[in-house]
Amino acid sequence: MMGGLCSQLAALLLLLVVLPSPAHGAEESQDQTVFSRIIGGQDAQKGRWPWQVSVQKYDDKKHEYDHICGGSLISAQWVVSAAHCFHPPVSPAQYRVVLGAHQLLPLSPKPVLAEVQKIIPHPRYNRTSFVADVALVRLKEPVKSTFIRPISLPGASHQFRVGKKCWVTGWGNVEVTKPLQPPQTLQQLAVPIISTADCNKRYNTLNPRSPLGPERIKTSMICAGYMDMGSPKGFCKGDSGGPLACEQGGTWYLAGVVSWFLTRKVSGIVCSHPKFPGVFTRVTAYDSWIQEHVKGVGPLPALLQLH
């Protein structure tokens, strides 16, 4: 999770992770938009984030599952993740969800390995604007565990104040070409929420004439992270779909879903950009769609929260 210059091979990896994006027309600044990982964080305590899941996809060549994204358990049988994690679409049988893990290599403690029954990307997901970058994953069987807990959905009217410190977690790379090293301990990073206006103001310095207009950060998105940091603290490839978790009144809420982040490319070397915050899908904006499928999921009693 520590920042720093990435290797020369990063240019090759970037071809795999760059999206069609607002940054696409700004080659003169060499800014690129990529899916998210955590940088500058720290090892999480075992059991601290009991809703965190690893979304894994089967690799036919290696004959094993690879971690591709994070996600959040919101009920006994449903997980929220990012829509881009499942593009292009393949059979749900190619995926599994790992719940209750603290380390991925080897899987520890003994996790729950859940088969996937159905994947439902939001029907308005847009790969260019990042609007509706959210997906629901239905597990084949309900999770039964004493140490795995769902995170609460905030409801459509819930507000998260600007400046509030929340937490983003995941197992993503520590640099663009440097994966999290074994035993791949879950990482965490505290990030403040940034207003949509300030976030747009910062991203508009990138390319004010973007075809997406001056408000590329939509009201259905939420920004969190750091601007003008001397060293990068943010998210990039590998932690997409994971939670932005905010505690209020003894309950932990899923405020956002990790969606995208900006990096800077200079002379072929790709580094995390220290001046642009991360962008998340705002969960409150999709409450009715989630409830339509999941039905009746609300805040959990405070006694179920482990923090």
Residue 84 is among the residues annotated as catalytic for this protein: yes
Residue 67 is among the residues annotated as catalytic for this protein: no
b/e per residue, 234-267, with b = 16+ CB within 10 A? bbbbbbbbbbbbbebeebbbbbbbbbbbbbbbee
Maximum distance among all Cα pairs of the chain, rounded to whole angstroms = 53
Q: Which of 133, 220, 272, 273 is catalytic?
A: 133
Q: Which of 75, 129, 210, 240 is catalytic?
A: 240
266: which 2 tokens? Answer: 């200079």
239: which 2 tokens? Answer: 């932690």
CB 47 within 8 A of CB 109: no
Phi-psi region of 249 (alpha: psi -120 to 50; beta: other; left: phi over 0): left
The number of helices, as runs of H, and strands, as runs of E, in the chain is: 3, 17
- For residue 307, which of 235, 245, 255 has the smallest C-alpha distance? 245
Q: What is the DSSP-derived secondary structure letter of residue 152?
A: B
Q: Which of 67, 75, 84, 122 is catalytic?
A: 84
Measured distance CA(112)–CA(90) in Å, rounded: 23
Residue 240 is among the residues annotated as catalytic for this protein: yes
Phi first, then psi: what are they for 213, rounded to 5°?
Answer: 85, 180
Residues catalogued as catalytic: 84, 133, 240
